Amino acid sequence: NNNALNAYDMLSHLQTCIDEVICSKESEIAIKVKKFLGNIKKNSLSELEIIEIGAFIENQSDKKINALALGLFGIYTDENTANFVIDNIDALYPYIWNNLKDEIKYKIGIKIAEYSANGDNNRSAKGKELLKNVDDGMSYLCKEHKIVELKKELENLINAHNAYDNFYKEPYYAKKIENLVGKKFDIPKNIEYEYVLTITNVFL
């Protein structure tokens, strides 16, 4: 895969994160976090380490959080990234995401669309996987991708509704749809009718 990051590129992504996020005049907690970030591709982070890094992230400037978000997104979507690194980023990303401006969230959604347009379906799928793990993440997909995902989950919801034990199966797909629509209730016009019809059939 020509789009896969090589080892040098991945280290560059990580170094950018470290350089942007850690101030030149380092506090004790900043030094600890720098060490944790440096180890993100070496060791699984403990729950305590995640909490400490999360607390540090929440007090950083938009510029630093943006750099960290995009850098870790690049590492996460690379097919050569180890599973424990994926787990580390999954644990850290909600802290980052909750402090991102919409502009950067939509930029990540556009990046996923670019991967898909370039035929890099693995990276596109990994990007969506990361967004599924953060609050309203999938609602920041570009319109075309959101329509595809909504159509799939609406079909899954109606199938679950018509199946045995529907009350146990429906919430799973309803939650996915909720994440796609988001708190802004952003539904592309091309799928509005199908959305209303499905939700009406399921909940009436």
> What is the distance between the alpha carbons of residues 19 and 66, in angstroms, rounded to a whole number?
13
> What is the distance between the alpha carbons of residues 111 and 158, in angstroms, rounded to a whole number?
31
Nearest to 149 by CA among 119, 190, 201: 190
Mean pLDDT, residues 50-75 taken together: 86
Q: Tell me, what's the pLDDT at 35? A: 66
Residue 117 CA, distance from chain mean position: 19
Q: Tell me, what's the pLDDT at 15? A: 63
% of the chain at pLDDT higher than 70: 81
Position with higher pLDDT, 149 vs 34: 149
Tens of pLDDT, residue by residue over 14-62, are 666 666 655 545 556 556 656 666 778 788 989 998 998 888 888 888 8
Mean pLDDT, residues 89-106 taken together: 94
> What is the distance between the alpha carbons of residues 179 and 141, in angstroms, rounded to a whole number?
11
Model-wide pTM > 0.85: no
Q: Tell me, what's the pLDDT at 29? A: 53
Q: Tell me, what's the pLDDT at 134? A: 94
Q: Tell me, what's the pLDDT at 24? A: 47
148, two tokens = 């595809």
Residue 130 CA, distance from chain mean position: 3
